[in-house]
Amino acid sequence: MIPISYLAQQTAGGCGACSLIMVARHFDPQLKLTEVEALERFGVDGFGPRCMVLAPSFDKAALALGLSVRIASLTRNELRNQLVDGPVIIYHKACEALDALPHFSVALAATESHLTRHDPGTGPGVVASWDQFEPLWNAAKVPWWPYVGCYTAVLRPHLRPARDPRRSAP
């Protein structure tokens, strides 16, 4: 599992901001950025229908933080390949309730049977079987090109570009 410090969200829409900060701090442990600052500077708000249009917010944040970003629709296997190089922000329903809002969390590890993630809303090191998590991930699929499918934000240092999901891990 990728060692990454956990950040709990303090605002209703802070899951995107906290997920961004957790991943950015993985690559730059000295980063001084708060949830409120990330929301104000980049608009990476995870609250409500606005979640669907966050690609430009993640682009803006990555540029300001010296990272590259690739917004992509990934399969379970492609996500595992991305996790070789670092954590990945994933977009999913917050829970199984019919009225559950879209939500962001940080994938840390994935096996054939389980996914481990830091969830800014529920806690660190959340482990779920794919049978439990995949319906939440699929329920938040984005229907807009070019992001059709299970939405993720893959942030990496500029010297280590995001892995092409069509290529397998080394």
What is the domain-level CATH number for residue 107? Answer: 3.90.70.10
Q: What are phi and psi of 73, to 5 degrees?
A: -90, 125
Residue 109: both structure tokens together: 């590890």
What pLDDT, in 10s, does the model give residues 137-169?
999 887 777 777 888 999 999 755 555 544 444
Whether 8 maps to a domain, the answer reads: no
What pLDDT, in 10s, does the model give residues 56-107?
788 889 999 999 999 888 999 999 999 999 999 999 999 999 888 889 999 9
Whether 6 maps to a domain, the answer reads: no
Whether 3 maps to a domain, the answer reads: no
Quote the pLDDT of residue 166. Answer: 46
Quote the pLDDT of residue 144. Answer: 72
Whether 146 maps to a domain, the answer reads: yes
- What's the average model confidence in pLDDT over 103-128? 97
- What's the average model confidence in pLDDT over 6-11? 95
54 band by pLDDT with thresholds 50, 70 and 90: low
Whether 10 maps to a domain, the answer reads: no
Quote the pLDDT of residue 71. Answer: 87
- Which range is least confidently modeled, 32-46, 68-82, 103-117? 32-46
Whether 163 maps to a domain, the answer reads: no
Whether 100 maps to a domain, the answer reads: yes
Indicate the Cα dihedral angle 92, 29, 55, 9, nearest 10°.
Answer: 50
Quote the pLDDT of residue 4. Answer: 93
| Strand 123-129 relative to strand 88-93, pairing | unpaired
Domain that holds residue 117: 15-157
Helix (H, G, I), strand (E, B) or coil at 127: strand
Whether 164 maps to a domain, the answer reads: no
On whether the CB atoms of residues 104 and 90 are closer than 8 A, the answer is: yes
Q: How many domains does the chain have?
A: 1
Model-level pTM?
0.87
Residue 8 pLDDT exceeds 60: yes
Residue 49 pLDDT exceeds 50: no
